[in-house]
Structure 1
Amino acid sequence: MQAQFKIEYASAARELAIDIDTLVVAGWAGRDLAAIEHHIEELAAIGVPRPSSVPLYYRIGHNQLTQADTVQVVGPHSSGEIETFIFAAEGQLYVSIASDHTDRKLESHSVALSKQICPKPAGRSAWLYAEVEAHWDELMVRSWIEENGQRVLYQEGPLSTLRTPRELISGYLAATGLAQLPDGTGMSCGTVAAIGGIRPANVFEMELYDPRLQRSLKHSYTLQILPEVA
């Protein structure tokens, strides 16, 4: 999938086009066992089996990555969750945001299939990872959903609760035998708990906020629900 990003540096900006040919979702990426267990129990409440190990690296078809404002899903059972999105290009790492949109009904049968079946909406702006790596733990992720006609805070938390991109990349490379993340590889890096429990919504808005440099990456998308026929 060819993605187009506006790279926003601390003092400049430029456009970057990149072919994402490898898409990975790093699951169960909490930094401490208590946080991981909370998310496992959150998903267990809707019938999702416990993971075999943590973290896990789910390979997703790169054609599922999208930067569109509207995405189509089958049935009313899916929901989004904000994740930082690390991708390699020109020998460097960049960070954007993406939603690990997941079919929650299918998730109780297979987590891997529930992730693969849904599009993965990503933002159109990114930062050079080197500009935020030193204060990564200070960054905040937030998401909002539309519920009963109201904009409702759905997720909020610091990245200090999640494993760092370097740690997740290292774990992924160890399993693949690669020496470094190849250009064209994108990885979403885990999420924080949903406020009030996981639930579907037709509008999903997300933000990565950098309090040190006073800037944000934002993206939102709307669902079109396709009929679920037997």
Structure 2
Amino acid sequence: MKLSFELPEGSAPSTLSFEARHLVIAGWTGRDTAAIEHHIEELAELGVPAPSAVPLFYRVATQQLSQADVVQVVGADTSGEVEPLLFLHGGEFFVSIGSDHTDRALEAHSVALSKQICVKPVARSAWRLADVQERWDTLVLRSWIEEGGEWRLYQEGTLAALRPPADLLARCAAADGEPADGFAMTCGTVGAIGGIRPAARFRMELVDEHTGRRIAHEYRAVSLPIVA
């Protein structure tokens, strides 16, 4: 799957074309054990079984990545989650954001399948990881959902809540081999304000308050009917 990213003003090159060959969704990546337990309990209320390991690395087909503004899903029980997205291009890591859009009804039966079945929307801009590595923990992750015709803050927190990139990459390499060009990995998320719930419209952003830069994306999920 080919994706195109704009880099910050003054970068050379100003854009890059990335061909994803290996996609990993990292789950249960929080540094705070209590927060992880809370998220597990949050999902348990939806009937989702506890993970077999923490963190856990799910393989997902790269064709599920999309930079479209409108995606299609099956049924009305899906929702997004904003996550940092790391990808390796030309021997260098870059960071963007993606939504781990998930089928919540299917999640009660299989987390892996619930992640595989949904498109993963991705922003169209990125930063070099090296440029934000030292202040990684200060980067702010946010998302909004549309409810009742209004945008409501759905997630907010700094990346200090998540395991740092080096830790996740090392753990993923131990489980799945060393990453090569074409590797992409989402890095986990922060808790949903008011609980996880379906929403058709989703906004997300990653903000570097030190520079004032932000990576943002918005998309709409169109529900297809479930035909038995």
- Cα distance in structure 2, aligned partners of 1:127 and 1:93: 9
Shift of 1:166: 1.1
Task: Tell me what 1:114 maps to.
Answer: 114
- Cα distance in structure 2, aligned partners of 1:22 and 1:226: 27
Task: Tell me what 2:162 maps to.
Answer: 162
Structure 1 gap ranges (5+) = none
- Cα distance in structure 2, aligned partners of 1:152 and 1:120: 21
Shift of 1:35: 1.4
Task: Tell me what 1:76 maps to.
Answer: 76
- Cα distance in structure 1, aligned partners of 2:71 and 2:167: 31
Task: Tell me what 2:218 maps to.
Answer: 220
Aligned length: 227
Shift of 1:7: 1.6
SS in 1 for 2:112: helix
Task: Tell me what 2:25 maps to.
Answer: 25
- Cα distance in structure 1, aligned partners of 2:46 and 2:176: 32
- Cα distance in structure 1, aligned partners of 2:117 and 2:177: 27
Task: Tell me what 2:148 maps to.
Answer: 148
1:12 maps to 2:11:
yes
- Cα distance in structure 2, aligned partners of 1:68 and 1:76: 19
Shift of 1:114: 0.2
SS in 2 for 1:25: strand
- Cα distance in structure 1, aligned partners of 2:149 and 2:176: 45
Task: Tell me what 1:43 maps to.
Answer: 43
Residues 129-148 of structure 1: pairs in structure 2 closer than 5 A: 129-148=129-148
Deviates more, 1:124-133 or 1:36-45: 36-45
Task: Tell me what 1:171 maps to.
Answer: 171
| Residues 152-177 of structure 1: per-residue CA shift (max 9 Å, x gap) | 00000111010011111100101123
Structure 2 gap ranges (5+) = none
SS in 1 for 2:184: strand
Task: Tell me what 2:198 maps to.
Answer: 200
What TM-score comes out, normalization by structure 2 length? 0.98
The letter for the 1-side match of 2:135 is: H
- Cα distance in structure 2, aligned partners of 1:66 and 1:177: 25
| Residues 111-148 of structure 1: per-residue CA shift (max 9 Å, x gap) | 00000000000000000000001000000100001000
Task: Tell me what 2:184 maps to.
Answer: 186
- Cα distance in structure 1, aligned partners of 2:38 and 2:116: 24
- Cα distance in structure 2, aligned partners of 1:12 and 1:168: 27
Shift of 1:87: 0.1
Q: Provide the identity percentage.
A: 56
| Residues 177-228 of structure 1: per-residue CA shift (max 9 Å, x gap) | 32xx211010000000000000011100000011111110000100111001
- Cα distance in structure 2, aligned partners of 1:56 and 1:209: 26
Shift of 1:45: 1.1
Q: RMSD value over aligned CA atoms?
A: 0.9
Where does structure 1 differ by over 6 angstroms across 4 or more consecutive aligned residues?
A: none
